Structure 1
Amino acid sequence: MRNAIEVNGLVVSIDNSGCIGTKEQDIVQVPNEITAYFTARTAILEQLCAGAIPVQLVMANFSGDDVWPEYELGFKKAFSEMGLEMPPLMGSSETNFQSLQSAVSLTMLGKKKFERNTNNCEFYVVGEPLVGNDVMENRKKIAQLNELYEGLNSGWIQAIWPTGSKGIGAEIIRFAGENYTADVDLTSSAGPSCAVLIAVKKEQAEQFKAKMTAPVRKLLKTRK
């Protein structure tokens, strides 16, 4: 697992979003539904990385009670993209005070479904590192949830590993080891897991590459 943890047989993942939304002082101005979509997307990818599927959502909403429906729509969009019903949602909204900037946190509880196995696999990075407004301006460069989920369900993807603010290079070390690199920016923030590391069965590598719509780069072995 990457950042998820396992507690009493359940996989727990979490993602947060701050200063992104529709409030006047938000640094990135986007609809709240979009903020929620990418928050859910990241937490889902952490679940898939751990081999789990979410079964319960818990939201901490600091943007005001009136924003709750917009956040919920964004969560639903992420699951709909995968062809899944959104799990039950519960949580709490800050209603005593009005925040000057948007903030939301989403926790997911999941149950194990996939087994991670990187034997006889090739490693790839799907997508490119994007953060802030670049995410909205380069949607075709983002690894797509539905394609990754299909690959896991079909078995030609054996494992996935999201990347984030530490950059792709740091996650390559955790996923494949120090003796791998890729022809992509390795140090810039990948934001809401816009790039994802993938382990693919060698005999199904061409099928995998044909299914991906975002840029695909193979991880290359380096000299020790």
Structure 2
Amino acid sequence: MRNAIEVNGLVVSIDNSGCIGTKEHDIVQVPNEITAYFTARTAILEQLCAGAVPVQLLMANFSGDDVWTEYEQGFKKAFSEMGLEMPPLMGSSETNFQSLQSAVSLTMLGKKQFERNMINCGFYVVGEPLVGNDVIENPHKIAQLDELYEGLVNGMIQAIWPTGSKGIGVEITRFIGENYTADVDLTGSAGPSCAVLVAVKRAHEEMFKTNMTAPVRKFIKLKNDC
């Protein structure tokens, strides 16, 4: 697992978004549905990384009760992309005070459905590191949730590993080890997991590359100087 944890047989993942939305002082101005979509997407990828699928959602909404429905629609979009019904949603909204900027946090509880097995696999980066307005302006560079989920379901993808603000290079090391790199920006923030690392069965590598719409780069093994 990456950032998810297992508690009493359930996998718990969380993601949040701040200063992104429709309030006057938000740094990135986008509809609240888009904010919620990418928040859900990241938490879902953490679930899939742990081999789990979400069964319950918990929202902490700091943007006001009037945007609850907009956030909910964004969450639904993420699950709809995978052909899944959104799990039940509960949570709380801050209604005593009005915030100057948008903020939302989403926690997911999931159940294990996949086993990670990286034997006889090739390793790839799907997508590119993007953050802020670049996420909105470059959708074709983002690893697609439906394609990754379908790959896990049919066994073509054996494991996935989201990336985030620490950069792709750090996550490659956590995923597979220090002796690998890739021909992509390794240090820039990948925002809401715009780039995802995957282990692909060697027999399915060509099909995998055909099925991904975002840019795909294979890991490069570094030479050992010793």
User: TM exceeds 0.5?
Assistant: yes
Deviations along 1:71-93, whole A, 9 cap, x unmatched? Answer: 00000000000000000000000
Q: Which residue of 1 aligns with 2:185?
A: 185
Percent identity of the aligned residues? 85
Deviations along 1:117-166, whole A, 9 cap, x unmatched? Answer: 00000100000000000000000000000000000000010000000000
Alignment root-mean-square deviation, CA? 0.3
- C-alpha distance in 2, partners of 1:81/1:48? 14
For residues 46-195 of structure 1, the aligned pairs below 5 Å read: 46-195=46-195
Unaligned runs of 5+ in 2: none
- C-alpha distance in 1, partners of 2:162/2:216? 14
How many angstroms does 1:176 deviate by?
1.0
- C-alpha distance in 1, partners of 2:117/2:82? 22
Q: Which residue of 2 aligns with 1:38?
A: 38
Deviations along 1:102-126, whole A, 9 cap, x unmatched? Answer: 0000000000000000000010000
- C-alpha distance in 2, partners of 1:148/1:211? 9
- C-alpha distance in 2, partners of 1:13/1:112? 13
Q: Which residue of 1 aligns with 2:9?
A: 9
DSSP 3-state at the match of 1:15: strand
- Paired positions, count: 224
TM-score, scaled to structure 2: 0.99
The amino acid of 1:179's aligned partner reads N
DSSP 3-state at the match of 2:192: coil
Q: Which residue of 2 aligns with 1:218?
A: 218
How many angstroms does 1:223 deviate by?
1.4
DSSP 3-state at the match of 1:99: coil
TM-score, scaled to structure 1: 1.00
- C-alpha distance in 2, partners of 1:157/1:142? 17
Q: Which residue of 1 aligns with 2:199?
A: 199
- C-alpha distance in 2, partners of 1:16/1:204? 34
- C-alpha distance in 2, partners of 1:170/1:91? 33
DSSP 3-state at the match of 2:12: strand
- C-alpha distance in 1, partners of 2:151/2:92? 35
How many angstroms does 1:43 deviate by?
0.1
- C-alpha distance in 1, partners of 2:63/2:97? 10
The amino acid of 1:22's aligned partner reads T
- C-alpha distance in 1, partners of 2:89/2:203? 40
The amino acid of 1:192's aligned partner reads P
Deviations along 1:175-220, whole A, 9 cap, x unmatched? Answer: 0110000000000000000000000001110010000000000001
- C-alpha distance in 2, partners of 1:36/1:204? 33
- C-alpha distance in 1, partners of 2:156/2:147? 11
Deviations along 1:14-69, whole A, 9 cap, x unmatched? Answer: 00000000000000000000000000000000000000000000000000000000
